Amino acid sequence: MSASRKGSSLTEAMLLATVARRFYVQGRSKLEIADEFGVSRFKVARMLDTAMESGLVRVEFSLPAPVDLALSDEVRSAYGLERALVLERSTEREPKEVVRAKIGALAARLLEEIAVPSDVIGLSWARSVNAMTEAIRSLPRCPIVQLCGVQAGMDMRGRSVETVSRVTSVSGGDAYPIFGPLVLPDRRTTETLRRQPGIAETFGQFRNLTKAVVSIGSWQPGESTVYDALDETERAAIAARGATAEVAARLFDASGNALSTGLAHHVLAISHEELMAVPEVIALGYSRPKAAAVDAVLRSGMVSTLITDAAAAVPLLALVAKNPVMPR
């Protein structure tokens, strides 16, 4: 709180500032202030309003992270989320790699604060989730479960198996990796690999998940690792079915409905149903090109916490204003 020289007179300004100081700084009640100054508590309330409206008193927030409080609250309220963390607007012109690192740092800080020893935490592979694991410094001793297979073509440090390994090295809990590709050539190969003991053990943990950190991909080039892993024919066929968003190799249409395509039969990944059953899902989705995909996934009802940036949040609010979210 700070005071300025505004007011009809110095005497009045001093009185308003003194009353405001009693209330905002010293924590005195309106009734206590009223007794001290010989006025009614309703008069004290009007004086506090006047001090605020005139600019004599200003309330400022100093958050421990670069978060836009107003945008965060608007997004949380519009989509009925438990939490929304929106990076402050100053990041809008920063390179995508810098924004990704900040998104990851926010996710790491949140997970460090809310994780408890009884949790079973799932991680999907994504560059932003990978950035989160680089920023995590402490976690309780809980199991870490890989939600989907390894994306081909990534360097070893960026692969999902290594992502899980890094987090368990911090938490000291058990690791449940998937030593297998994300996208497989056919259903038979997928089913064979799912029966392999190590992979079957990880898949068995999906029903025990209490928290999951996932990334929202948009069904377009460069905005989804799954999209980029498929050939052009399958990408186009899936797009024709109405695919808008992808989370852990599972697809959603623009209304947030689970989308059934042939992709489900040749990926090693958690199912739609298992994702929807996780009590707390933290979703990372940022940048303007992903706004429609983020909107779609939020409409599914799967997400409890969204971590995003202003570049995505502003168009998100425009989308939800045109088509408000209906309770599921």
304-320 pLDDT per residue, tens: 999 999 999 999 999 99
Question: What is the C-alpha separation between 256 and 247, in angstroms, rounded?
Answer: 11
Q: In percent, how much of the chain has pLDDT > 90?
A: 68
Question: What is the C-alpha separation between 92 and 82, in angstroms, rounded?
Answer: 24
Q: What H or E segment, with its residue span, contains residue 104?
A: helix 96-114
| 69-322 maps to CATH 3.40.50.1360 | yes
pLDDT band with cut points at 50, 70 and 90 for residue 257: very high
Provide the pLDDT for residue 316. 97
pLDDT band with cut points at 50, 70 and 90 for residue 152: low
> Which range (169-178, 237-246, 262-271) has the least confidence?
262-271
Question: What is the C-alpha separation between 37 and 19, in angstroms, rounded?
Answer: 9
- Which is it for strands 250-252 and 245-247: parallel, antiparallel or unpaired? antiparallel
Place of tokens 């797009």: 239
Render the burial of 251-269: b for 16+ CB within 10 Å, e for the rest.
Answer: bbbbebebbeeebbebbbb
Q: Is the pLDDT of residue 93 over 80?
A: no
Q: What secondary structure, in 3-state letters, does 51-86 show? A: HHHCCCEECCCCCCCCECHHHHHHHHHHHCCCEEEE
Q: Which residue has the higher pLDDT, 126 or 82?
A: 82
Angle at 86 between CA 82 and CA 92, to 5 degrees: 165
Where are the chain's structural domains? 10-54, 69-322
Q: Is the pLDDT of residue 2 over 90?
A: no
Question: Tens digits of per-residue pLDDT, 28-67?
Answer: 999 999 999 999 999 999 999 999 888 888 866 656 678 8
| 10-54 maps to CATH 1.10.10.10 | yes
